[in-house]
Structures are given as structure tokens and as C-alpha cells.
């Protein structure tokens, strides 16, 4: 039997991530001890009270049916979380939607609001799920470069009018992945005005909202005047509460956008497992002190990494938020060649910046997903590599 793939699958060929994973596996099979700082998956456990809640409710026979949508308890927890943390008022009936993690939302969102050929404004470099969602919708990306000289904020004023008139969605991400930049109120106000002028939906990816350092608390897009008129904010419990495998998140904001996306969701899945919703609600209700402790751990790792790299001659910017260091590489390398050199000569895995878009060239993303002892070892390996 001859099996052919759809043309759509041309957008989903093997990526640098799978290539790196295969190369890492090969090196491990050869006996090398690899320190992986490439994948943004938390290595720490969720709060004990979250695990206890899950352990209790998975034993209840009544919890194994379809949830279909967000439970009242979960939706109310999101409403209270936004009120407490950002002074944003939400209607749980019309302005909050339960998701199977933010990946679910990000990949499916363009299918609801963009037709084939429509333009979606997307950060470059940006999280890879944005490209996946755009490809699934048959839309066309217009890259908004994130440049160091502009503090890694998109220059909205440089978007041509003929592009803006065809654009349906603008995706923003602060704190960002792979670039851990923070938005200002002035930037969000400019984006809102731009969206109002051209009837563009803003989707703000807020997945790293609880990972910030030195008091630089991120701004919720929805806290700005006019934000609900033009857009929505999406977040997840994966990074904030170390619940990546639980697959739960939420979409908040514009009522009409929420309703339309809920319509698609009702045809895709039967909702998040009820014990996970229960645990997520408890996390949002009781998790403030846990988030503070989590931030201290990541902040200490950040300091250890940035200071250690500086000590061997690799000076990188210290991030104010997110769980990544966006590191400019030494001159004379491409980001991919540099990444493979680190594996071969230091047994350290990072992610080349070009994997996230053309303007990622010249950088690598380093994830703070190993304990301080592993980070020390990574620094020692790099010091002996002969690269610096």
C-alpha cells in the first residue's frame, strides 16, 4: 500500500529539536554524561498540596466522566487569581475558557480567526507553536523582529499599512520564549491602538507570568484600558506551578473571541480530567507562596549561570523573567554550529536561536532546568572546552 501525506505535513518535517534529541541520545549511548539545558520543561515538582489533591480525587469513581468544559471551581479560581494578582475583573461565564495547556490554545487559535492566505503577525524569534498554528490554518506569518537595540520588543510602527490591513491576529509573548523580554505599559497601549485601527485580534501568551526576578513583575495585557475590546490572554499552569504533564491552562478576555474559540474546542475534545481541574483550582487559590519560592530557585540558578559564564569570558544578559537565558554567541559561529560544538566539546546541550525564527541567528537559548550543581558542572565543562 502506498501512503501519501497531505501537503499540510510539509510544514511539520523533522526539526532541529528532534535532530538535537537524536544527537544527544547518540552521545549518551557512547558513554558521555550530557547536561541538557535545551528543553523548557520544569525539573521541579508541583506543590505538595497539588499532588495530595490529585491523589485524593483520582480515587473518586465519579471523577472519570467527561468534563466537557471548565468546572465552576476552576473558572472561579482563574477569576480570583486575576483579581488578586492584576486587578483585572473577569466574568467566569463569558470571559474564561479552560484549555488543555496553552499549547492546545496556541496551535488551534488561528484556525478560528484566520482563513488561508490571511496574515498573522508573529514575533521573530518566537515560540515554535506559533508557526504550527499558522501552518494548520493555512495562514501566512509576517515576522515582527525582536532586536536587542529595541529591548526585544516588536517595532509595531514599522509594520506596513498594506500588511496590517490583511492581518487577522497579532501574537505577543511577555515574558517571552525564547527571548525573556518584558513588555511595558506604553508598548501594550501602542499594540492596542494598532489593533483597534486595523481590526486585529491580539493574542497575548502569558505562560511565564509567575517566573520573574528582582521584583520585575510582568504586566497582564488585560490590565490595560481597551485590551478586552481587541484581545485575549492565554496562560498555563505548566511553568508557574510545575504542572507541565497535567495539561491545563486558560484563555481570558474578549467575550466574543472566547465564545468562538469555545465553539471549536467543543468539537475537538471532551475537556480536562476533573481531578486535574480540581488540583489546578487549588494551585491558583493557594499557590502564591509556592510561586515565590519557585522564583527564588530559578533566580539563584540564573545568577549561578550568568556569573559562571562571565567568569569564562562569555558575557550574556541576565533575564528579568522567564526560565531562559537568551545568550548572544561569540563572533564567527552560526547558532547551529555553536550548539553542536558545545555538545561535542563540553557535553552541554542548548537550543540554537535560529530554531525560533530567522532573527534568532546569533543566539542560543539556555534553559534553567537543572539544579545548581549541574549548572556548575556545565560551566566547568565549558571552561575546559577551548571555545572561550
- Burial of residue 48, with CB atoms counted within 10 A of its CB: 0-12 exposed, 13-18 middle, 19 or more buried: exposed
CATH 3.40.640.10 for the 62-286 domain, yes or no: yes
Q: CA-CA distance, 83 to 95, in Å (whole number)?
A: 13
Domain with CATH 3.40.640.10 in the chain: 62-286
> 252-290 burial string, b = 16+ CB within 10 Å, else e?
bbbeebbeebbeebeeeeebbbbbbbbbbbbbbeebeeb
Burial of 96 from C-beta contacts in 10 A (0-12 / 13-18 / 19+): buried
What is the predicted pLDDT for the residue at 271? 96
> What does the pLDDT read at residue 17?
80
* CATH 3.90.1150.10 boundaries in the chain: 7-45+289-384
How many angstroms separate the Cα of 346 from the Cα of each of 330, 338, 362, 369, 382? 16, 11, 19, 17, 5
Let me know: does 350 contact 366? Beta carbons within 8 Å.
yes
The pLDDT assigned to 238 comes to 97
| 23: phi then psi, degrees, rounded to nearest 5 | -70, -40
pLDDT at 14: 66
Instruction: Give the number of other Cβ atoms within 10 Å of residue 299's Cβ.
Output: 17
Q: Give pLDDT < 50 ranges for the chain.
A: none
- pLDDT at position 7 is 84
The three cell numbers of residue 254 are 474578549
Q: What is the Cα gyration radius of the chain? A: 21
3-state secondary structure the chain: CCCCCCHHHHHHCCCHHHHHHHHHHHHHHCCCCCEECCCCCCCCCCCHHHHHHHHHHCCCHHHHCCCCCCCHHHHHHHHHHHHHHHCCCCCCCCCEEEECHHHHHHHHHHHHHCCCCCEEEEEECCCHHHHHHHHHHCCEEEEEECCHHHCCCCCHHHCCHHHHCCEEEEEEECCCCCCCCCCCHHHHHHHHHHHHHHCCEEEEECCCCCCECCCCCCCCHHHCCCHHHHEEEEEECCCCCCCHHHCCEEEEECHHHHHHHHHHHCCCCCCCCHHHHHHHHHHHHHCHHHHHHHHHHHHHHHHHHHHHHHHCCCCCCCCCECCEEEEECCCCCCHHHHHHHHHHHHCEECEEHHHHCHHHCCEEEEECCCCHHHHHHHHHHHHHCCCC
| Phi, psi values for residue 313, rounded to 5° | 100, 10
Rounded CA separation 284/70 (Å): 14
- Look at residue 372 in the predicted model and tell me its pLDDT: 97
The C-alpha cell 496556541 sits at 106
pTM of the model: 0.96
Q: Would you identify the CATH topology of the domain 7-45+289-384? A: 3.90.1150
Q: Which tens digit of pLDDT belongs to each residue from 245-256?
A: 999 999 999 999
Amino acid at each position: 500500500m502506498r501512503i501519501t501525506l497531505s501537503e499540510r505535513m510539509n510544514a511539520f518535517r523533522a526539526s532541529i529539536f528532534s535532530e538535537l534529541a537524536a544527537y544527544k541520545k547518540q552521545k549518551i549511548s557512547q558513554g558521555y554524561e550530557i547536561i541538557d539545558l535545551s528543553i523548557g520543561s520544569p525539573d521541579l515538582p508541583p506543590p505538595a498540596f497539588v499532588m495530595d489533591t490529585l491523589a485524593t480525587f483520582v480515587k473518586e469513581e465519579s471523577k472519570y466522566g467527561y468534563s466537557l468544559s471548565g468546572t465552576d471551581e476552576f473558572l472561579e479560581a482563574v477569576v480570583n487569581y486575576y483579581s488578586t494578582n492584576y486587578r483585572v475583573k473577569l466574568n467566569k461565564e463569558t470571559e474564561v475558557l479552560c484549555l488543555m495547556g496553552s499549547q492546545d490554545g496556541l496551535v488551534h487559535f488561528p484556525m478560528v480567526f484566520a482563513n488561508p492566505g490571511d496574515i498573522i503577525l508573529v514575533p521573530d524569534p518566537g515560540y515554535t507553536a506559533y508557526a504550527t498554528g499558522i501552518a494548520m490554518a493555512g495562514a501566512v506569518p509576517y515576522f515582527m523582529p525582536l532586536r536587542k537595540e529595541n529591548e526585544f520588543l516588536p517595532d509595531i510602527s514599522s509594520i506596513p499599512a498594506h500588511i496590517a490591513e490583511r492581518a487577522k491576529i497579532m501574537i505577543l509573548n511577555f515574558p517571552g520564549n525564547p527571548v525573556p523580554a518584558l513588555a511595558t505599559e506604553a508598548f501594550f497601549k501602542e499594540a492596542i491602538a494598532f489593533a483597534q485601527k486595523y481590526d486585529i485580534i491580539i493574542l497575548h501568551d502569558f505562560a511565564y507570568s509567575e517566573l520573574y526576578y528582582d521584583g520585575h513583575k510582568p504586566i497582564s495585557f488585560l490590565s490595560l484600558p481597551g485590551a478586552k475590546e481587541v484581545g485575549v490572554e492565554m496562560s498555563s499552569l505548566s511553568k508557574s506551578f510545575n504542572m507541565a504533564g497535567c495539561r491545563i491552562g486558560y484563555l481570558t478576555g474578549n467575550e466574543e473571541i472566547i465564545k468562538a474559540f469555545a465553539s471549536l474546542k467543543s468539537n475537538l475534545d471532551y475537556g480536562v480530567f476533573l481531578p486535574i481541574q480540581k488540583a489546578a483550582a487549588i494551585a491558583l487559590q493557594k499557590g502564591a507562596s509556592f510561586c515565590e519560592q519557585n522564583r527564588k530557585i530559578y533566580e539563584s540558578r540564573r545568577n549561578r549561570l550568568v556569573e559562571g559564564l562571565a567568569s569564562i569570558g562569555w558575557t550574556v544578559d541576565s533575564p528579568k523573567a522567564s526560565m531562559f537565558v537568551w545568550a548572544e554567541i561569540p563572533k564567527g559561529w552560526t547558532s547551529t554550529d555553536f550548539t553542536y560544538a558545545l555538545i561535542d566539546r563540553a557535553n552541554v546541550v542548548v537550543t540554537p536561536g535560529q530554531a525560533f525564527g530567522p532573527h534568532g541567528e546569533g543566539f542560543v537559548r539556555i534553559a534553567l532546568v537543572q539544579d545548581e550543581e549541574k549548572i556548575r558542572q556545565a560551566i566547568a565543562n565549558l571552561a575546559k572546552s577551548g571555545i572561550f
